[in-house]
Copies of this chain bind each other. A is one copy, B any other.
Amino acid sequence: MEDELSRAFAALADPIRRDIVARLTADDMTVTEIASDYDVSLQAVSKHLRVLEAAGLISRRRDGQQRWAHLEVDVFDLLTGWIDTYRRRAELRHQRLDEILRRST
């Protein structure tokens, strides 16, 4: 788990972190706001946010006492980019297979 792709996939493997990401699509939120939604400690949520930040999925801005989390959608492109590359490759292979089968009959 070194590269950005691994960090992004790993970050989204946790249900709480996925849910945080989902909520951040509606609005930027503070740590306390986010933590109130879950049955874990504030510190645990703080850790989750650090993981999301390290994965590039969120950015953070300090405003007085509060730290606002903001969703960064660019990493989504990284993920779908990887997935689509190999999905396309798999589909191409099937198309070629189908063609061979069609020609051989």
Q: Hey, which bits of chain A sit against chain B, CB under 8 A?
A: 1-3, 5-6, 9-10, 12-15, 18, 21-22, 24-27, 71, 73, 76, 79-80, 82-84, 86-87, 89-91, 93
Contacts and interface: CB of A to CB of B under 8 A. Distances in A.
A78 to B, nearest CB: 10
A13 B22 contact: no
18 contacts: A1-B13, A5-B18, A6-B14, A6-B18, A9-B13, A13-B13, A21-B86, A22-B86, A22-B89, A25-B89, A25-B93, A26-B89, A71-B90, A73-B87, A73-B90, A76-B86, A76-B87, A79-B79
Contacts of A25: 86, 89-90, 93
**Copies of this protein chain in the complex:** 2
A1 B17 CA distance: 12
Contact of A91 (B10, B14, B73, B82): B73
A87 B75 CA distance: 10
B83 A76 contact: yes
